[in-house]
């Protein structure tokens, strides 16, 4: 049990490089609620399972440590997540996912830790600091109701909705399914990702290399030597991953970084490209659509990756004879390219839009005029690749 943690990928680095302690403390009530319905868990493992997760070297088996400062920090995009901060006062804001509502979680700390930067209402602080002063639940609820109007709502929530143990020939791991949810909205088709512990660990290490100061207060759950596949461990770890992603999203520089963004949608783009190249257009369409939703939730709808996603959607819709949908994707892309005089995808999108507009009986004069401008500017449109060729040749790394 005293072994050192082996980094993913065989890289160096000691355990003290970062405060990796965000697995929940004694959270019996919240844990039982999660296991009873808010987290779908699939496993055929024995509770005494001692096989090591991910097939890596042995790592430290930790007692449940106290939460590091900032571990419960929530999403901060013009507002703050009060879920982690109010947990010590007796309840969390519930939020919905897939029709279900998270029940209140609890933790033991009476007030937020000193390292957190979210201020509490003055009434709470003064009452909590009085000698022997402890607020009754009814008083706290009343203060909470009065202060709710001053709290900016969260804009993006991360919800681990299911976890399953996957056994492969050389390894066994837990695959976590995560929903990206806009606060206060219902998504008919939610944006989802499925990631394993090693994916989170790789993201954590990449961000610590680039944002060492910002990541100092971000906690990450350690691996365990035993009981990696029990429902209790997976439920605690799923909550830790939610806190981890919420804290990352609350930091402006990290939220906009390629490392953070591509953790969510790059695997989908790569999978969709492979499916498109092999002619599996229906499966590719679903994957492109999920990549579209992920980029939309993360607010990166003006990037080159998003234009490539629109190209993938247009190609797959066209191959499946869904011409109106393909035409709509081309129109959206051309709106994004409106202010750009030259772009590798501008010519292919214009040509595809003209062809689809003719097919579905829509106005194509504007696109034809823009194509004429490109010809006059000396662009050899006859040598331009088609939208599908651009899509297949685009390197996604």
User: Can you give the pTM of this predicted structure?
Assistant: 0.67
Strand order in the sheet with 156-167: 40-42, 156-167, 172-182, 191-196
Q: Spell out the domain ranges in the chain.
A: 156-256, 281-393
Same fold, 156-256 and 281-393: no
Digitized pLDDT (tens) for each residue of the chain, 397 residues in all: 344 444 444 444 444 344 444 444 445 455 555 555 556 666 554 444 444 445 443 333 333 333 444 443 433 343 333 333 333 333 333 343 443 434 444 333 344 444 444 454 555 445 545 555 455 666 666 665 665 444 444 578 999 999 999 998 888 899 999 999 988 777 788 899 999 999 999 999 999 999 999 999 999 998 777 787 888 889 999 999 999 999 999 999 999 999 999 999 999 999 999 999 999 999 999 999 999 999 999 999 988 899 999 999 999 999 999 999 999 999 999 999 987 767 889 999 999 999 999 999 999 999 999 999 888 888 887 788 899 999 989 888 7
* Domain 281-393, CATH number (from 3.10.310.10, 1.25.40.10, 3.40.30.10, 3.40.50.300): 1.25.40.10
Give dist(CA 324, CA 352) in Å, integer: 12
| pLDDT reported for residue 302 | 84
Per-residue pLDDT tens digits for 216-225: 999 999 877 7
Q: Are 41 and 231 in contact (CB under 8 A)?
A: yes
Please give the sequence-ordered ranges of beta strands (E in DSSP) within the chain, or none if there are none. Answer: 40-42, 96-97, 100-101, 156-167, 172-182, 191-196
Domain 156-256 fold: PX Domain (3.30.1520)
Burial of 312: CB neighbours in 10 Å, binned 0-12, 13-18, 19+: buried
Give dist(CA 243, CA 237) in Å, integer: 10
Q: Are strands 191-196 and 100-101 parallel, antiparallel or unpaired?
A: unpaired
């Amino acid at each position: 049990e005293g072994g050192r943690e082996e980094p993913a990928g065989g890289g160096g680095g000691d355990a003290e490089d970062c405060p990796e302690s965000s697995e929940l403390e004694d959270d019996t009530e919240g844990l039982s609620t999660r296991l009873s319905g808010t987290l779908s868990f699939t496993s055929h493992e024995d509770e005494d399972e001692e096989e090591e997760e991910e097939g890596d070297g042995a790592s430290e088996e930790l007692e449940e440590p106290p939460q590091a400062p900032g571990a419960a920090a929530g999403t901060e995009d013009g507002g703050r997540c009060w879920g982690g901060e109010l947990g010590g006062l007796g309840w969390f804001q519930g939020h919905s996912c897939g029709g279900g509502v998270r029940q209140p979680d609890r933790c033991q700390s009476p007030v937020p830790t000193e390292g957190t930067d979210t201020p509490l209402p003055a009434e709470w602080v003064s009452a909590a600091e009085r000698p022997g002063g402890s607020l009754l639940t009814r008083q706290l609820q009343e203060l909470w109701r009065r202060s709710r109007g001053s709290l900016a709502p969260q804009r993006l929530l991360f919800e681990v909705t299911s976890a399953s143990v996957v056994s492969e020939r050389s390894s066994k791991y837990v695959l976590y399914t995560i929903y990206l949810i806009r606060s206060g909205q219902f998504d008919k088709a939610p944006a989802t990702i499925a990631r394993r512990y090693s994916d989170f660990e790789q993201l954590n290490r990449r961000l610590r290399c680039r944002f060492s100061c910002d990541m100092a207060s971000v906690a990450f759950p350690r691996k365990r030597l035993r009981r990696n596949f029990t429902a209790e461990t997976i439920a605690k770890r799923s909550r830790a991953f939610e806190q981890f992603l919420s804290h990352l999203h609350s930091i402006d520089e990290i939220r906009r970084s390629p490392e953070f963004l591509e953790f969510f949608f790059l695997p989908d783009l790569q999978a969709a490209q492979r499916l498109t190249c092999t002619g599996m257009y229906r499966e590719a369409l679903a994957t492109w659509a999920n990549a579209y939703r992920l980029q939309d939730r993360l607010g990166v709808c003006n990037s080159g990756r998003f234009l490539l996603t629109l190209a993938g959607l247009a190609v797959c819709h066209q191959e499946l004879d869904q011409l109106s949908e393909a035409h709509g994707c081309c129109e959206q892309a051309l709106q994004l390219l409106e202010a750009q005089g030259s772009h590798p995808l501008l010519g292919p999108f214009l040509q595809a839009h003209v062809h689809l507009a003719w097919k579905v009986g829509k106005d194509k004069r504007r696109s034809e005029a823009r194509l004429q401008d490109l010809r006059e500017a000396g662009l050899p449109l006859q040598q331009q690749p088609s939208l599908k060729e651009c899509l297949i040749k685009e390197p996604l790394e």
